[in-house]
Amino acid sequence: MNTKINTLKQELNKVIIGQEMMIEGLLIGLLCDGHILVEGVPGLAKTTTINALSKALGLESKRIQFTPDLLPSDIIGAQIYNPNDHSFSVKKGPLFTNLLLADEINRAPAKVQSALLEVMQERQVTIAEETFKLESPFLVMATQNPIEQEGVYALPEAQLDRFMMKLIVTHNSEEEEVEIMRKAANKSFAQIETVLTIEDLHTLQKELKDIHIDEELERYIVQLITATREPTRFGLEEHVASIMFGASPRASIDLYKASRAQAFLKGKTFVSPSDIADVIHKVLRHRIVLSYEARSQGINSDEIITAIVETLAVP
């Protein structure tokens, strides 16, 4: 494994016990300039992870708690009138940071979600007549409560597509929770130190581009995505009724990039089918729109993705 990545992981492990999948997801997001959607109940070290990552990389991080009364200007900023010199000045919102934790994004109404997601895509903010470019890296880790909870505004499919990966964070194992409990009670979490710089991160992003991916695997990725749109073509007739809409071309791009990042994190120089399989659930689960029949039968998108990987022959 790349020593810089290894060092970063070790530093993060000082304060984060377990949750390897979330850390790996965030690193993939950072390396690929993607954004991460995290679904899970409160108290699973989401804020801690973002803070630790920002400190370890020497980046700035901010957190926005999304509420039903939040306004777009609350996150992107606004022009403020100065009565002394009768002029307007721009007050930048919390979006102007490197790592942003958008907590409980589905508690805010659609206009606030749209404002954030637009910024995520464009990586620039326009306040009044002035446009501000966001500094690189810019990663949004949005969290959302499970959709069944009350008082939430579900993210539309088009906006979900802007997230590179959707991670489902679960509780730690018993052993991990015992360790967390002890360290939290004794306040014995070690201080995070900056182990990588922004330049190091840019270097890693450049190295990532050197990871080889075979042409056959590229076709394999496209086939996996196509299978979500045309299941019958790949012998997945039983799932035709379950899928309302398949994944978009943005999914192919993200799966391609995430597979390379996964292989990079493993310290490999090439992508193998297992790297694709490692990230395919995270990349596709929020992009496959299930039919009413599938939801009523309790079928989730992960089951369909597993069936696709099982069915499609590896190169």
Partner 1 sequence: MKHNLGSLLGIVLLMGFVSSLFAEEFAYKIEANKQEMYLKEGILLTVDLNQTDPKNILLFQFEVNKSDDFAIYPLYAKHDDTPHATSLHESYLVYPLKTGNLNLTFSCIKRVTSDLKMKHFASGDRDDFKKLETKDVPIVLPPVKLHVKPLPPSTQLVGDFHLTTKVQTHEAEAYAPIAMRIEIEGKGYPPILHSLYSKSKNYTLFSQAPEVKKNITKTGIDYNVTYVMAFSANKDFTLPKLTLHAFNPETQQPYTLTIKAHNFHINAVNQNRLIDAQNKPKKLVEDWSWLKNLLSYFTVFAAGWLSALAFKWQKPRIVDRQDPLVGKVIQCKEPKVLLQLLIAQEDKRFAQSIEKLESALYGNTTFNLKTMKQEILEILQ
Residues that bind partner 1 (CB under 8 A): 270, 272-274, 276-278, 281, 302, 306-307, 309-310, 312-314
The nearer residue to partner 1, 11 or 278, going by C-beta atoms, is 278
The nearer residue to partner 1, 39 or 302, going by C-beta atoms, is 302
Strand runs labelled E in the chain = 36-39, 61-65, 77-82, 87-92, 99-103, 124-127, 130-133, 139-144, 165-168, 243-245, 289-290
The nearer residue to partner 1, 57 or 243, going by C-beta atoms, is 243
Least distance in angstroms from the C-beta of 260 to partner 1: 16
The nearer residue to partner 1, 183 or 268, going by C-beta atoms, is 268
- Cα–Cα distance for residue pair 265/282, rounded to 1 Å: 16
What is the CB neighbour count within 10 angstroms for residue 185? Answer: 8
Least distance in angstroms from the C-beta of 312 to partner 1: 7
Least distance in angstroms from the C-beta of 234 to partner 1: 13
Scan for tokens 């992107």, then name that residue: 76
The nearer residue to partner 1, 38 or 217, going by C-beta atoms, is 217
Could you tell me if residue 191 is left (phi over 0), alpha (psi between -120 and 50 degrees) or otherwise beta?
A: beta
Using CA of residue 5, residue 59, residue 188, residue 26, what is the dihedral sign? negative
Least distance in angstroms from the C-beta of 21 to partner 1: 9
Beta partners for residue 38, in sequence order: 143, 167
- Cα–Cα distance for residue pair 58/47, rounded to 1 Å: 16
SS3 276: helix
| One-letter amino acid of 135 | E
The nearer residue to partner 1, 38 or 140, going by C-beta atoms, is 38
